[in-house]
A and B are shown apart, each in its own frame.
Chain A
Amino acid sequence: MSGDRHKGRGSRVPTPPVWLARTLVVVCFLALLEAAVRGGLVSKFFVPPPSEFLAQVARDLVNWQFLVYTGITLYETGVAFMLALAIGVAFGFLLWRVKPLGEAYDPLVAGLFSSPIVLLYPIFLVVFGRTPLAIIALASLFGVLPIILFTRQALAGVSPILLRVGASLNLSRWANFRYIMLPAAAPTIFTGLRIGLTYILIVVVAMEFVLQIGGLGNLVSETSLMFRADELYSGVTLVVLMSAAFIFLIYRAEGMVRR
C-alpha cells in the first residue's frame, strides 16, 4: 500500500504514503469546512460544523436504535440477495444451455439492467403494499439482472481447450460440469454476484429512504424531518460509512471466495 513506485521523473519531492495522504485530504476537507462554518462563510443552518455532527455520529453509533436500523437493512439485503442469487444463477444457466433463448434474451436483460428499475416502485407498492416485502422484491429484481448476465457470460466463456481436456478424459456430463465448467466459470459468476449485491444494497437503502420504512435509509428520512442539520448530517454520514463498510466487506468476501 505504502510503496510508491514512481517513474522517477518529477518525484524528487518525497511524498507521504498514499493512505496517509488520503487521510490528510479528508481531514483537511473537514477542517476547511469547520473553518468556513465557524467563520460564517457557510450558514450553520445549512452545514453544521463537522466537529458537532461528528460528535453526533459517535453518539448515534452506540445508540441501539442505529443497530436495529442496520439489522433491518442487512436483513432485507440478505433476503433479496438470496432470491436474486437463486433465480439469477438458474436463469443464467438456462440462457447458456438453450442457446437461441440466450441470444434472444441477453440484450433484453442488459437493456433492463440499464433502465430505471427503481422507478417501478409504485407498482410494487400496489402489489405488496408499503412493506419490507416491496423493498425486497424490487431490490432482487434489480440484483438478479447482473447475476443472469454474468452467469451466462461465465459459462459461455469457458475455454474450449478446457472442455476438450474434459472430453479426452472421458468425463461424464456431470463430472465435466462439476470439475471443469464450474471452477472455470466461478470467478466471473462471483463478479456478477458482487455487482448484484452492491446494487441490491443501494436499492434497499434508497427505497427505505423514499418509503420511510425499515432501516438505514429510513434513518435519514426520519432525521431529515426533524429539521436539525446536525442530526441530518450525522444520519447521512452514518449511512455513507455503513454503505462503504458493506462494499468493502463484499469485495473482501469476493476475494476470499475466489481463492
Chain B
Amino acid sequence: MNRILAIRLGTVVLFLAIWELAGRSGLVPREILPPASEVFAQIIALFGSDNFWADVTASLYEILVGFVVGSLLGLSFAALIATSDYVYRIFEPLIYYLGAVPKIILFPILILFLGTGLQSKMGMAAVTAFFPIVVNTALAIREVNPIHVRAARALGASRAQLYSKVYVPSIVGPVLSGMRLGLGVAITGALLAETAVAQVGLGFRAVELYSQLRIAEMYALILLIFIGAALVNVGIGRLIQRTTHYQQQETRAGASVT
C-alpha cells in the first residue's frame, strides 16, 4: 500500500518538476507551456477575480438546470420504454445509436430554438445527460428480479407498495450511477458548447484567454475545471455509496462504458 502511495506521489512530483523545468529552461517556449509555478500563481489570482466567479456561477447554473431537465426526461422516457419487452426492443438500438453521436453537433439546432444565451447551454447539458440516464435506468428496470415482484404480489402488495418496496429499491443503484455519468457528460457538454458560442462561462473564458494569448491563465482555468469536475464526480460517488450501501457495488469500469 505504501509503495503504491510512493509511486503516486513520485509521479506527481516528477510531473510537476518536468513541467516546471521544461517551462523555465526555455526548452519549451513559455507561450506553449508556462512553468507550473506560474500557472499555480494564476490559479490564486483567478480566485480573486470577479470574472471567474461570474463564469463559475453561469456554468453551474447551466449545468444544474440542464441536468435536472435531462434527468426528468431521461427517467420518464426510460420508465415508458422499459415496462414492455416489445417496446424496449423497438427503442433500444435507436437510443444506442443516437447516444453514440457527438451531441455537440446538435448545438446549432439548440441555438436556433433557445438563442445564444444560457438556455442553449442548458439544452446541451440536458441532451447529453439524457442518454446515459435513459440507458442505465431502462436496463435497471428490466433487470428487476421477477421473483421479487412475484413474491411481493403473493404477499399481497398493493401497486404503490410494489413500486416503493420492490422496483425503486432495486433500481436505485444503477439509476444513480447513470445520473452520475449523466452529470459528468452534462458538464462536458455545457462547457464545450460555451467554447463554441457564449458570452459568459468557464468554457467561454478558456477560449477567450486562448485568443488573447494569456496562456498561463488559460492553463490555470482548465486545471480548475478539471479539479472541479473531479470533485463533483468523487462527491457523487461517495453519495451513491452511502445511499446504496446495502447493495453490491457495480463494477467500476462497467459504469463509465458504452
A interface residues with partner B (beta carbon < 8 Å): 4, 6-7, 11, 15, 18, 21-22, 25-26, 45-46, 100-101, 103-105, 108, 110-111, 113-116, 118-123, 125-127, 146, 149-150, 153, 195, 198, 201-203, 205-206, 209-210, 217, 220-221, 223-224, 229, 232-233, 235-236, 239-240, 243-244, 247-248
CB pair A114–B108 under 8 Å, yes or no, is: no
Contact string against A for B residues 88-103, beta-carbon threshold 8 Å, 1 for contact and 0 otherwise: 0111011001101110
CB pair A22–B94 under 8 Å, yes or no, is: yes
CB pair B257–A195 under 8 Å, yes or no, is: yes
Interface-side segment among B137-145, B154-162, B165-173, B214-222: B214-222
Known contacts A18-B90, A104-B4; is-contact A123 B100 (Cβ 8 Å): no
For A210, the chain B residues whose CB sits under 8 A away are 104, 192, 195-196
Give the contacting residue for B3; candidates A100, A115, A236, A248; CB below 8 A. A100
For A198, the chain B residues whose CB sits under 8 A away are 100
Expressed in whole angstroms, the Cα–Cα distance for A171 and B197 within the complex equals 61
Expressed in whole angstroms, the Cα–Cα distance for A253 and B206 within the complex equals 39
CB pair B184–A116 under 8 Å, yes or no, is: yes
CB pair A25–B90 under 8 Å, yes or no, is: yes
CB pair A209–B210 under 8 Å, yes or no, is: no
Q: Is B113 an interface residue (CB 8 A)?
A: yes
- Min C-beta distance of A143 to chain B, whole Å: 13
Interface-side segment among B44-52, B66-74, B224-232, B241-249: B224-232
For B101, the chain A residues whose CB sits under 8 A away are 202, 239-240, 243-244
Give the contacting residue for A15; candidates B86, B111, B203; CB below 8 A. B86
For B219, the chain A residues whose CB sits under 8 A away are 123
Which among B11, B31, B209 has the greatest number of chain A C-beta atoms within 10 A?
B11
A to B CB contacts below 8 Å, 10 in the list: A7-B85, A18-B86, A100-B7, A116-B188, A116-B225, A122-B206, A126-B215, A209-B104, A210-B196, A217-B105
Expressed in whole angstroms, the Cα–Cα distance for A51 and B100 within the complex equals 25
- Min C-beta distance of B178 to chain A, whole Å: 13
For A233, the chain B residues whose CB sits under 8 A away are 109
- Min C-beta distance of A146 to chain B, whole Å: 7
Q: Is B238 an interface residue (CB 8 A)?
A: no
CB pair A101–B100 under 8 Å, yes or no, is: no
CB pair B187–A247 under 8 Å, yes or no, is: no
CB pair B105–A236 under 8 Å, yes or no, is: yes
B interface residues with partner A (beta carbon < 8 Å): 3-5, 7-8, 11, 31-33, 85-86, 89-91, 93-94, 97-98, 100-102, 104-109, 111-113, 181, 184, 187-188, 191-192, 195-196, 203, 206-207, 209-210, 215, 218-219, 222, 225-226, 229-230, 233, 252-253, 256-258
CB pair B100–A195 under 8 Å, yes or no, is: no
For A150, the chain B residues whose CB sits under 8 A away are 253
Known: A116-B229, A205-B102. 15 other contacts (CB 8 A): A4-B86, A104-B7, A105-B11, A116-B184, A116-B191, A119-B192, A119-B206, A195-B257, A206-B105, A209-B105, A220-B108, A224-B108, A236-B108, A236-B109, A239-B101
Known contacts A104-B4, A232-B112, A243-B101; is-contact A119 B86 (Cβ 8 Å): no
- Min C-beta distance of B87 to chain A, whole Å: 9
Expressed in whole angstroms, the Cα–Cα distance for A203 and B5 within the complex equals 33
Expressed in whole angstroms, the Cα–Cα distance for A211 and B75 within the complex equals 33
For A217, the chain B residues whose CB sits under 8 A away are 102, 104-105
CB pair A18–B89 under 8 Å, yes or no, is: yes
For B112, the chain A residues whose CB sits under 8 A away are 45-46, 229, 232
CB pair B102–A209 under 8 Å, yes or no, is: yes
Closest to B226 in A: A115
For B8, the chain A residues whose CB sits under 8 A away are 104, 108
- Min C-beta distance of B51 to chain A, whole Å: 17
Closest to A24 in B: B90
Expressed in whole angstroms, the Cα–Cα distance for A113 and B254 within the complex equals 12
CB pair A206–B192 under 8 Å, yes or no, is: yes
Expressed in whole angstroms, the Cα–Cα distance for A121 and B4 within the complex equals 31
For A220, the chain B residues whose CB sits under 8 A away are 105, 108
- Min C-beta distance of A182 to chain B, whole Å: 21
CB pair A122–B207 under 8 Å, yes or no, is: yes
CB pair A114–B184 under 8 Å, yes or no, is: yes
- Min C-beta distance of B180 to chain A, whole Å: 9
- Min C-beta distance of B247 to chain A, whole Å: 21
